[in-house]
Amino acid sequence: MVTLKYFQEKFLSIGKASELSGMSKWDFIEYLSDNNIPVIDYDDDEISRELETAENIVKQKQGKAQKTASLNFCTPDS
């Protein structure tokens, strides 16, 4: 299937490849799996950026949670 090759070569997105093949995205993902083609094919730099982004999000959420927790323990002066 031409769309399989174009997806693998990163000429088509998964959405466009599935559309052109006449499959739903989920069926196309299964088709990729059946043909041993990864849905996500990151190089080392892309993986590093994704992990860094995820770590930053976790740190931001932890910081917000700590601020919220400290606000819950504050009591107004009487």
Q: Could you tell me the mean pLDDT of each successive run of 10 residues in the chain, 78 residues long?
A: 89 93 95 92 88 92 73 58
pTM of the predicted model over 0.85: no
For residue 70, the model assigns a pLDDT of 64
For residue 53, the model assigns a pLDDT of 94
For residue 25, the model assigns a pLDDT of 95
Q: Measuring CA to CA, how many Å separate 33 from each of 10, 36, 59, 74? A: 16, 5, 34, 53
For residue 43, the model assigns a pLDDT of 85
